[in-house]
Amino acid sequence: MNEKEKKAQQDFAKKLKKNRRANETREQAKGNFVEHMIDVATLDKSKKMQEKVNEELKHIPKGAGPQNELRLLYNACRRHSLGKKVMPKQTAKEVLEGCISRLKDDYPDFQFLYDENFFNKRG
């Protein structure tokens, strides 16, 4: 075990001891702490995912009803497309095109606005 791994193990032991509840065995504490760390990691990934989608939404302007529906649909579909179990993976542009395609059924004459240069760079 190298120094970095030893340090990580020591840090883990300190956090475990600090967060251990009364009448909790070491193994119970370890299990609870690991579950907590998984929850924190999941929340962090979710937060990063939402930040990415929010950045992309800056390139889909707000507007009248159908334009805002595009933003809502894109937000949901893009977050889903970034999930780790989703196959096949979709690019931001593919998600956007799919959203527009769905909305064109209800609003065939509406001109949806988005930053074409931004989404073309994203593939």
Whole-angstrom distance, CA of residue 62 vs CA of residue 64: 7
Range of the domain at 113: 61-123
Q: Give pLDDT, residue 109.
A: 94
Q: Give the count of alpha carbons within 13 A of 47, CB side only.
A: 6
Is there a single domain that holds both residue 39 and residue 93?
no
Q: pTM to 2 decimals?
A: 0.64
Q: Which comes out higher in pLDDT, residue 59 or 84?
A: 59
What is the per-residue pLDDT for 89? 82
Last residue within a domain, chosen from 57, 75, 98: 57
- Pick from 3-12, 36-45, 87-96: least confident: 36-45
Quote the pLDDT of residue 20. Answer: 56
| pLDDT recorded at residue 80 | 86
Same domain, 42 and 70: no
Kindly list the distances between the CA atom of residue 99 and the CA atoms of 49, 53, 58, 60, 69, in Å, as whole numbers in the listed order: 18, 14, 16, 12, 9
- Per-residue pLDDT of 70-81, as tens digits, reads 999 999 999 888
